[in-house]
Amino acid sequence: MNIHIISVVPELLESPFNHSILKRAKERGLLNVVVHNLRKWSINKHNQIDDYQYGGGAGMVIMCEPLVNAIEELQKDTKFDEIIYVTPDGETYNQQITNQLSLKDNILIICGHYKGIDQRIRDHYVTKEISIGDYVLSGGELAAAILVDSIGRLIPGVLNDETSALTDSFQDNLLAPPVYTRPAEFKGWKVPDILLTGDPKKVEDWRYEQSLERTKTRRPDLLDDDGI
């Protein structure tokens, strides 16, 4: 999968993909992340990429010309399956969207800054608008990093134990059950006996019950979705 990102602060995206699981995905040739500095397409010698908004008001808006030039230049080499704008007024991101995006070959993510990007780019180029939650970040870069991380780990061959993504929180609209490792007793706190029985059926049932219980108490809204 190829993920291109257009940003005015590309420095924010230097490190997140170079460690751990995403690093491995890149080394295995399963994920290619390319970050582009929007200023490369700035419209004058002042490196301008934004301007005041029509109608007045504080905050700058990223202009059509540099961003459209950037998008169209990248489109010459790549047919993007999705052009995503990360923005607090987008659709709220969740695991279902992640799953869908992990099946794509080429994704372009546009990061806004200041007041955002000119609406005409959203109208004519963007195919999907995503928010990572009901709070405001100073720019889209951290949201883009979250998209790349959550999508990248689902690409087949990225996780060592392929089944482990299936048992993540949210994959069945359920939160993940608690996990334990050695020792079986620490400061008098014991690991639940069932996990020590070696009986896979019992363990599976217990995990399912725990998942359900956790979801009921912490995120009942997830259960309402499909009426488990």
Which residues here bind ligand 6GU, judged by CB under 6 A?
86-88, 131-133, 135-137, 139-140, 143
Q: How far is the CB of 113 from ligand 6GU (least distance, A)?
A: 8
Which is closer to ligand 6GU, CB of 9 or CB of 68? 9
- Nearer Cβ to ligand 6GU, position 136 or 221? 136
**Which tokens in the block code for residue 120?**
């005409």
Task: Please say which residue, 84 or 154, places its beta carbon nearer to ligand 6GU.
Answer: 84
Residue whose CB is less far from ligand 6GU, 22 or 84? 84
- Supply the minimum distance, in Å, between the C-beta of residue 222 and ligand 6GU: 20
Answer for the pair 157, 30: CB distance below 8 angstroms, yes or no: yes
Write down the least CB distance from residue 183 to ligand 6GU, Å: 41
Q: Cα dist. 160→99, 165, 183 in Å?
A: 18, 10, 25
Radius of gyration of the chain (CA): 22
Q: Return d(Cα 228, Cα 213) in angstroms, integer.
A: 12
Nearer to ligand 6GU, 93 or 206 (CB): 93
What letter represents residue 192's amino acid? P
Strands 60-62 and 189-190: unpaired
- For β-strands 60-62 and 50-52, DSSP reports them as antiparallel
Q: How far is the CB of 112 from ligand 6GU (least distance, A)?
A: 6
Shortest distance (Å) from residue 211 CB to ligand 6GU: 27
